Amino acid sequence: MTRKRSDIIAGIVLFALAGLLFIVAGFMPTRQGSVQALNTGFYPRMLAVIMAVLSVLLVLETVRKQGQEARQMAPWWKTKSAFTMFLATLVLLVLYPFVMRLFGFASASFLFITALVWLLTEKGQAKPVKILGIAAAITLVVYIVFKLVLAIPFPMGLLI
């Protein structure tokens, strides 16, 4: 996908979001006869209009450029390894809060770091002892800073 096409799509999506904001803000309570600015929906609606105008401008600007900047976007999702890495990181991030609630924040941090370092290490070079050691060291730092020094009350997990 070219930068041009992605900008046009971004403009259309933003316009749709602005429309949605405008409609939703219309359901907010209004007071008859008073100054408009007093109404709850007034300010969101104003922002929605500005956003809509800007997204139209973005599309116009992009179309008017006439391909002079139609260079290929860095196709990060096309190189398989980069995309898998990205998705895997997202999955790990989303799992973190659940693991934290289940086992405690130190265990969650340890598992998160171990898994991610292992993913980021080139295949064939992974030395399990080194990865576990580094993950343990980073977790220890996090534990000392947040649990011992800052005394943050973390959810009680099955472990720590």
- Treating both helix axes as pointing N-terminal to C-terminal, what angle do 42-64 and 3-26 enclose, rounded to 10 degrees? 160
Residue type, position 141, single letter:
V
Q: Is residue 14 involved in binding another protein (CB under 8 A)?
A: yes
With CB under 8 A as the contact rule, the residue among 47, 103, 132, 160 that binds another protein is: 47
Min dist CB 65 to another protein, Å, is: 10
Q: Residues 6 or more apart from 39 whose CB is under 8 A from it?
A: 28, 29, 30, 31
Q: Residues 6 or more apart from 22 whose CB is under 8 A from it?
A: 44, 45, 48, 49, 52
Dig out the tokens for 41 from the structure.
């929906």
Q: Is residue 55 involved in binding another protein (CB under 8 A)?
A: yes
Residues that bind another protein (CB under 8 A): 3, 6-7, 10, 14, 21, 24, 28-29, 35-40, 42-44, 47, 50-51, 54-55, 57-58, 61, 73-74, 76, 82-83, 85-86, 89-90, 93-94, 96-97, 100-101, 105, 109, 112-113, 116-117, 120-121, 134-135, 138-139, 142, 145-146, 150-155
